[in-house]
Chain A
Amino acid sequence: AQSVAQPEDQVNVAEGNPLTVKCTYSVSGNPYLFWYVQYPNRGLQFLLKYITGDNLVKGSYGFEAEFNKSQTSFHLKKPSALVSDSALYFCAVRDNAGGTSYGKLTFGQGTILTVHP
């Protein structure tokens, strides 16, 4: 079975400071990892993904994430936070091991990011 953990329910950061939202995962095969953002009363928006290759992936709105296989982590980062980055962030994983879990995304519980002016 695949699972995702986001250990922090909330992250608070001052505008202009770097931010990190943590994610760890568990899969039986190779992981395919995704980050999504959700603004109030909106659906989820895709930010970035790791499939293979370079461990540092870059995505929308200046976000990036680092895949670390030994630590089974995929933390979301941004060098300089904006107030407009305040939202709910979800990490998700898909397992390429096949079987009934092949299609679905398994999500973490979400992390509320608040960027203070």
Chain B
Amino acid sequence: GAGVSQSPSNKVTEKGKDVELRCDPISGHTALYWYRQSLGQGLEFLIYFQGNSAPDKSGLPSDRFSAERTGGSVSTLTIQRTQQEDSAVYLCASSYRDRVSYEQYFGPGTRLTVT
């Protein structure tokens, strides 16, 4: 079946601009996660959504970062007033349920470059 999809695959933006990254989880998966992968920081958790519960935003690095999930499916990660340190690969993942035993399935990522 279809996996997690993300768009765009690559995004180049100027410092100070806002960007939106999109994630389509696997159909039927109720939990959705955002991670960031960068050379200096490795893989970092950003935020996760489970059903209609309030999202866990504990990993968001600053208030310039926000995310929403509409209709329990598609999610958008928004970065306002981008900075060069925001350059990274942003990975989205989904899992069948928010249970520790369920593995997460990752999308191909969006490579963000802030110039």
Q: Are A104 and B106 in contact, CB atoms less than 8 angstroms apart?
A: no
Judged by a CB distance under 8 angstroms, whether B98 is at the interface is yes
Residue A22 at the chain B interface, CB threshold 8 Å: no
The residue on B at minimum CB distance from A31 is B100
Whether A56 is near chain B, meaning CB under 8 Å from some CB there, is no
| B: number of interface residues (CB 8 Å) | 24
Which residues does chain A contribute within 8 Å of B93, judged by CB atoms?
44
B65 in the interface (beta carbon within 8 A) = no
- A100–B58 contact, CB under 8 A? yes
Does A67 count as interface, using CB distance less than 8 angstroms? no
Interface: A45 (CB within 8 A): yes
Report the minimum CB–CB distance from A23 to chain B (whole Å).
14
The contact string, 1 if C-beta is below 8 Å from chain B, for chain A 51-86, is 100000000000000000000000000000000000
B33 touches A49 (CB 8 A): no
1/0 per residue A15-49: CB within 8 Å of B?
00000000000000000101010000111111001
Query: Contact string, A98-117, partner B, CB cutoff 8 A, digits 1/0?
Result: 00111111111110000000
- Does A96 sit within 8 A of B, measured CB to CB? yes
The answer to whether B106 touches A100 (Cβ under 8 A) is: no
Inter-chain contacts of A42 with B (CB < 8 A): 108
- The 6 A-B residue pairs whose C-beta atoms are closest, nearest first, are A104-B45, A107-B43, A43-B106, A44-B106, A103-B48, A32-B100
Task: Give A contacts to B, CB under 8 Å.
Answer: 32, 34, 36, 41-46, 49, 51, 90, 94-96, 100-110
